[in-house]
Structures are given as structure tokens and as C-alpha cells.
Chains A and B, each alone.
Chain A
């Protein structure tokens, strides 16, 4: 069925009820990863490489094992060698051999913080001592950190068996460039020849960490018959089960994975780090093992997203029509191949209808932690460059920057450079909402500047399961297979309640473990409300059909003569007979007599995700003395298709924008000459705090996605795409400075102001 109807016809969807897991979370009762404990549990710790690149000559664990209280030690020798085998994970194809070697270094440590061994001991303190007693002999190798340095022909090679894919003929020398990808449309040289105004620039972005406040944590337990349980904070309990089983060489059915409450992920918890180690330690010690990362571990050994170098060139006619664009993107993958270069190549220019485009991307390894997915993987990086260039183009053409985007912005039927023709999209309505927002016309004071930038993300569907059970008293349980990271339990309950016609409080949503619900792909990619929501909606519809059948049995009339309305079964018309309506509770009471329990589980692979577009407006003021950029006002407009829980949709938009502001202004990885991270903590890796930010106004646009029962597109990814350029364009407007390098931190702003003043004086 389709519920894409005016809001006035919906009772629950589109409102903002209190979340079902809320009370537990405001009282401290919710069980997150590190809150889990099992009887007899011991503690695991990881020994990490102090070197950015080193051959592991030997590992001597004898002293650690001899320490009283130490129950088990593991190294790569405890895990099977895994052949090259690709599978699709959070943000792209992932090689299980690489995943295994990222969890536990084999032969070589490829970045500072790379796990080389792990111990389990009766207390945390003993485990820490034991880590120090493990003796690793390294042969330190030359390392490389920066992306362009890693691409140089004489760079230290991380993987002697890596030859750049996507180049013909196949290269004969190994390289740190894992892959070259390209997209082309039209004739880009002819396009530039035709252009009357051209802008170009070279932009750099820093890797940024997802910086979820909860460090990775898990508890593992293994019985002597091989049956195991893993409890962890993750974006996918099925992912944890599959990857852990693969890395350990175990059968999937022997491993049951329980998702605990997750303290933020943003893509960073779409892979495993600790889980296979904890399981192996639990198996060897015969005891449940808890492992937690420290914040330092999180920075040095998990996440982040790619840093990059992006060259962009855009050409237009004098009337503003863009005729050509060229982009070269070099994305850091970290120590193993797999940066989000594919979406990077697609997303930046996906927003504009340009006849001639050429995009080339490189996926580059270096001695940094392997990147993990981070909100709209790849898109924010390319969009920082493209949207900065669009701002320059608008200035050069003396056209209002929103007007330039309105003129060239994609609409239904626009063909992108990666071939896909846009369909059912809402970019122009987003631009219109931005233009009509009071912020766009609000006056600025001297010294203040305003920037605007846009963002695109595909959104995805994928495999999801949802179950709806009618309990004996007429209350309803909804089970889904996706960890609730930002309020999705509420959305699931709301969609089920809307279909069932009952108050949302009558529906209790839970996230099931891998044995309680059908397979579900990760929580990520803005897919859960879309795909899992589709499964839950269909399950609820099937339950309604059952309820009608049961009522028909009670009334002894045909099922077709029953209709379901307002949470009750009604005779469909006068001919059906004169019966008092039956409530869900009344029907549930007779479930045993009418055929047994009333429930339905739907597993599906949701297709046809609806792309999302956003437009952000940002006002700033720059302190010329300190170089500090103050965000004065921020408005984020986004087409979400349909907001199921309005307040949480706003929250996703606000949170994504705040992360983007951090990316723009402060966040970066600082390495010393030995390739060691110097700012692995929240004091020096500075995420935005409450006093850094103004009120971020979220403006919801709803152009329904016709392929979802309620019109949902997804919301969480798009809002992190525009902020870097929106802030940069605001700084440009306030100071005249085009800041091409992130973060636009006080030292960089001061240097740019000084350089500009020097140029003026000279």
C-alpha cells in the first residue's frame, strides 16, 4: 500500500513522539558496549605498533603469558590466513584478507596503532602490564603519510602485490595507487573551448574521524562446543557475525551476535576491530572477555574518512550556463585499499546538468589507519572543492550563487556524468526553500559574510528484515535487524502504528540479535528508515490482513467483508452484517481460537532509494587578530522525502551540519616526522562544542520518494556534504579569502590574512 498522502491524513507519521528507548537513556540504564558484563568475565587489551611502517620480525609472548592473571595471548598466528576475497561492506568492496590483517597485523605493521597482539587477563591492570611484556622485534621501514607523496614513483610501497587497477596495460611495478577510476560525458576539451568564463582550483581536505563519543567495545563468550556469543556496539550485528566468522574461520551458525546500544557510529562502526580478537581470546581462555578501545586507540586505529587532494575546473557561458567540468580526485584509503573514491567521483558534479565532464579518481594507500565509512562517504570531500569553485564562478559571472545553482541544477531527466538520469528528485524545491528562507535575505553587518553550498547523496536500500508481533493483550512488538543509532526504533514503531491504526505507545520496538530476526544489512547509508521501514510497513500490512481474517472468523463472514480502520475491524458495509467493531486487543484475545499467534516477518532487499539534496546557508565573522571563525547563523535545507519522526529528522540534519562545521574549521590529523599521530585525543583533535555553534535551523523539504510506502528518502548522510564549502564561501564573502585547504583553522586564516595584507602592501 501507499501512504504518500497529505500530513493531515496521517495520525502518527510526521509527528515527534517521545522515543521508546528514551527513559533508559536519560536515567543511565541503557546498556552500551562497555556496560555489558558477564559472570567470570576477564579483560582483553591490544598491543599496538609504535611504528608507522615496520616488518614484524618476531613476537615473544612468553613473559606476558608467565604473568600471574594472564589467561590468553593471541597474535596473527592464531588466525587463519585469508585469501584475497572481496565482499561489499560499508562503503565499497572490501577484501577479507585486508580486513583480517587490519584487525591483527601479519608480517608488517602498516600504521602507528596497528594491532600486533592481544592479551586477556583477570584485571585491566594486569592486561595492561601483559601488553608491555609482549616483546615485538620490528624492522622499521620508510613510511609515507601524505596522499601525493604516496603516489610518487619513489614512495615506500606498502603492499608489494598491489598494482594499480584500472590502467591498461597492467602496470609492472607495484604502487600505492590501488585503483584509478574515471567517468566521462561529452567532450570536455570542446566544452572548455566553448566556455567564456573558467574557474579552477586545487583543494585539500584532511582525514577526519567520525569521533563517536563511545569508543569501540565488546564482550565475547565461547563455549567448548564452539558456540559463541558476541555483544558489541556496532552498526550491524549481522556484519559483526559475518566478518568475525570469516576472520576466525568459524561457521556463521555458531556465532550469535547481540547489538548493544550504540554510542554513535556515523559509519565508523561498520567494520570489526575488536570482536574477532575478543572471540579468539575467549576461546583460548575459556572465559568471557571484554575489550574496550581507549580514545587514543580510536584515533590511532579506527576510522577515519579520507583526506584528499582535489583539482577542479569549471567552465561556463557568460549567461551562467555551465558547459564543462573536470575533476581529479586523490583519496587516501589508509593502509589498505578502499577509499570512497567511487562516490567521490560521482557526487560532486551530480548536482549540475553539465554537457561535458571528465572525472578521474585515485584510491591511494599510505601509512595511516584504514579509512572507514563516514556519513555520505566520499561526497563531502569532492563537494568542498566543487561548491567552492561554484562560488568562485558565481562571483566571476556576477550571478547570485543560488541563481547559478538554480540555472544549472539537476531536475528530473537531467543526465549525470556517471550516466544515471535523475528521477523523482527534489533539488530545485530545496533551492527554492533556501531562497525563500528569511536567512537568505537577512542583512549582514560589516565584516560578516554569507556562504551557500549544496550537497547530494544517493541514499541506499538493501537487505532488511522487520517483524510485527501482536501480543496476547493487543500490544504490539516490532523487531528489526538494524541497530538504532539515531532514533530508528521510534520511526519503526511509528510506521507500524500508522498502518495498524493504533497509538504509537501501544507498539514496543526492539532491535533483534542475529538469531531473533532475519538478516539485515548495516545501519548506514541513510537506509534504515527507507529499507527497514519498508519491511516493517509490509509486515504490519500483513498483520492487518490476518486481523481482518480473524475478525471474519469471529463474525463468521468472509474476510473481504471486513475492513480495518482506526485500529479496529469493522464490517465493510451494511451487507456484511451488524457487528460491533473488534479492537486489536479483542482479536488478540481470540488468536488461539482463530488460527494461532498473529505475527509477520518480512525480509526484503529494498530497491529504488531516493536521492537526497541539501542546501546550507552560513553566516560567519572572522576575528582578524586570532583567525577564529565564528559561525553566526546556520540554516540547513534538505529534501528528506518524508520525515517520519520530525524532531529526529531535524536532529540528523543539525548533527550532520555540526560535524561538517568541525570538518571545516578544526578537525585534522597531525603527524610527526616518524608517522605518529600527535593529536590522538579530544583535547587536540577538536570537535565542535556547544559554545562553538549557533542554533542550526533545519528546514525540511518533502518531495516524496514514490518507491517507499511513506515517501522516505533517508536523511543522515546529506547534511554533512555542504558545510565545508558553505563555511568556506562565507569566509570568502567576509574576508575576500578563498581558503582551499581544510581545516580553516585559526593559524591558516591568520596566515592567509597576513599574505593578503602583504600582497596589498607590496
Chain B
């Protein structure tokens, strides 16, 4: 019997695969390794140390921006998840209507419009409102991040709703449940993994974005990524490596959780 075709036996497969992984992970590995460096160099290893982690934890500014980042991500992704859930219900639990595809596209706008364009657009609007009202609080960042997170939260929620067996909702109605009861007892509990996944995706996206924050923030509203960018313009110390490594660990945790939640009960 002839062996099944496998792309892994084509010439050059191993080399290309290796190159891809090197491109993906070598810079990150170097970053992580040098976060444990004893001396201040990014290229000469001086022995293992946690001094840059201590420095980062002792740095009041780092603590401030980290808390701001987490708070912002939490608020923005929560709001985005609620809106995305409503949007997903409105686009999957109705009879097909004209322009449904356009609605999908419109909801997914931030996925398609370059981030910098969204950033400039937000900057102009925010500047205008600032002049009119004099308000300079966190509200702008919350709104900007919420808007930016909506499509990321929307995708897994919609996917969950679309793959859900519609007969279950019919069975609930058949067993005397009202629309509200069918949603409360059947749709919502089955949607939870999608909602959690959407929330976590939104959280990570809000935590990561530099561009949106950079354009919208007022003075003293740095998030962790914009703070790090600002620091790097001055001096690159392994303290940045340490912060970046912790940041990476947090993102990895959330993404892992995301995969666990979405694969369970699939």
C-alpha cells in the first residue's frame, strides 16, 4: 500500500519549520533569559539573579501603570463582553435579514481598520470632547478600549451561538418556557464558555494595545505597554525584560485558560 501523502516528507520542510520557530520564539527566549541577568547588559551573561524583578516590584511607577492596565482591561473587556453578547444574540437569534453580512462586517470593524487609523480617529473625537467639556478622566480610555475589544469578544460568543443546537431552545419552548426563561435556563448557561472566552480575549487585547492607548491617553494615564515604550526610549535595562517577562506570563495564563474554556464542553 502506498504511503499517505505527508507534507513533512517534502524537501526543505525541516529547515523551514525550524526557521519559523526560531523567528517566533528566539527573540522572546533571549528577552526572558536576560531578565535573569546579573549585570545590566542585554548581550553579556553575568550570572543568574532576580535583581531586575526586585527592581521592577520596587518601582512605584511600574506598580501604578500595571494596576491601571489591569483595571482598564477588566472594565473595558467587561463592557465589551456585554455589548458583544447582545450583538451576537441580535445577529444569530433572528430570522435572516437584509444586510446581515454588512452588520457582521461593521461589528468587526476594528479587526479590519488599521489600528493607527482608529487611534487617530479616536484622538480627534477625544480632543474635541475634551475641549468642549474639560473632562480628562479615564473615561476616554475605557470607551476606546471597549470599542476596540468588542469584535474580539464577539467572535467566540457568536461562534458558540451558531454551533449551539437550536433544537434545545425549541425543546425549552415546547416544555412551556417563555422566551426569557428559555434564554435564562438554556441559552445563557450553554453560552457561558463563549462569554468567558470572549471576555478573556478582550482582556488580553486591551492589556496589549499600545496604539489606541497612546493616541487617547491624557497625561499620567500610561498603561504598562505605553510606559515600557516610554522607558525604552531612554535606557534599556533588564528591568524592562523582567516586566516584559511577567507581562508575557500573564498573557500566556489568560490564553491558556481561554483554550481550556473553549475546548471544554465543545
Partners in one complex: no
Task: Give B contacts to A, CB under 8 Å.
Answer: none
